[in-house]
Structure 1
Amino acid sequence: MSTNVLLRLEAALVAVLALVSYGMWGGSWWLFALLVLAPDLSMLGYLKGPRIGAICYNAFHVYLVALAIGVFGWWYGSQPVLSIGIIWVFHIAMDRTLGYGLKFETSFQDTHLGRIGRD
């Protein structure tokens, strides 16, 4: 099994765990629907070129930030903040499951999981 397949399976498991956690926490599904694609607004950085685009996209597509927000919300008992963190983790995991990895500065299609789209 290739590394790419393993990384995508791992991401799928993270997505499932995020959904289960969200349901167990009692998060609002309306909030989930509203925010699940919000991290993709970072793609607007590509309007300034591939380097700035990759920096913006990657800043919003790393687990570290999303997990930190989720842990902060959990620690302080803030359901809205925890919900945002879990939604963000789910978004990242789904992107990775579909093959949308962290971007290289060469182009949007060049990711740590391989090239996406048509050549």
Structure 2
Amino acid sequence: MINMNKILLHVEGLAILLLSLYGYFYFGFSWIWFFILLLSPDIFMLGYLINNKVGSMVYNFIHTLSVAILIFLIGIFLSNSIFLAAGLILSSHIGMDRMFGYGLKYPTHFKDTHLNRV
């Protein structure tokens, strides 16, 4: 049976990724830095070394679009290209994660995500 909600969330992730890539291209930022930093938000998995609750809180904080948008908006208001690029790289990472089915984590287990429970 096809879970249409899950499919829509994956497509939404793809849309976020494509929009973020377009923004990155539009502003003319370095693609070398993009590929170097694309997976850097996953360093926040280190919170799981403490326990699942802390790990999920730290991981989810950085993997939330509102944080990426806030960083991007700071870049807009301050005319700061580092914040602009960082916000776009983070939103690209989040979009890529959602597209591949990696969602926000529940404190029960690392593999227990909001996309798995849809």
TM-score, normalization: structure 1?
0.92
**Runs of 4+ in structure 1 displaced over 6 angstroms?**
none
Aligned length: 115
CA offsets 1:67-116 (integer angstroms, 9 cap, x no match) = 1000110222111110000000000010011100000000001000006x
Instruction: Give the equivalent residue in structure 2 for 1:100.
Output: 102
Alignment partner of 1:80 out of 79, 82, 85: 82
TM-score, normalization: structure 2?
0.93
CA offsets 1:34-89 (integer angstroms, 9 cap, x no match) = 21111100000111111111011101100001110001102221111100000000
2: CA distance, partners of 1:74 / 1:31: 19
Percent of residue pairs bearing the same amino acid type: 41
1: CA distance, partners of 2:33 / 2:48: 27
Higher strand proportion:
1
Structure 1 residue runs of 5 or longer lacking an equivalent are: none
Structure 2 residue runs of 5 or longer lacking an equivalent are: none
